[in-house]
């Protein structure tokens, strides 16, 4: 039987190691006033994919991070630390 977290996600999920990525992505998307659908359309992925990144269920590829940075006007380092938005 596979180990899972309290939320039922796989314990070895690589996205769980970058806990600030999802929180930072969600905060920056909201500041940009974009819905999941709008951001997904802008970078060529589904809204559910964006949602999975925001909840740290999956981790975006380096090329997806670059597309997110272009869409949200930030540097890749914006997704590696706790968000400090005004």
**Per-domain boundaries in the chain:** 19-74
Phi, psi of 4 (to 5 degrees): -130, 165
Sequential pLDDT tens for the chain (86 residues): 445 555 555 554 444 445 688 989 999 999 999 999 999 999 999 999 999 999 989 999 999 999 999 999 999 888 876 666 55
Q: How far apart are CA 50 and CA 54, in angstroms?
A: 6
- CA 11 to mean position of chain CA atoms: 18
Residue whose tokens read 């670059």: 66
**51 in helix, strand or coil?**
helix
Look up the CATH number of domain 19-74: 1.10.260.40
Taking only the tens place, the pLDDT of each residue in 28-39 is: 999 999 999 999
pTM of the model: 0.73
């Amino acid at each position: 039987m596979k180990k899972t977290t309290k939320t039922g996600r796989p314990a070895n999920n690589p996205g769980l190691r970058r806990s600030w990525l999802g929180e930072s992505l969600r905060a920056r998307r909201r500041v940009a006033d974009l819905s999941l659908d709008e951001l997904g359309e802008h970078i060529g992925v589904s809204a559910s994919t964006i949602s999975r990144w925001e909840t740290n269920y999956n981790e975006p590829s380096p090329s997806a991070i670059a597309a997110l940075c272009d869409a949200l006007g930030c540097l890749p380092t914006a997704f590696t630390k706790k968000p400090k938005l005004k």
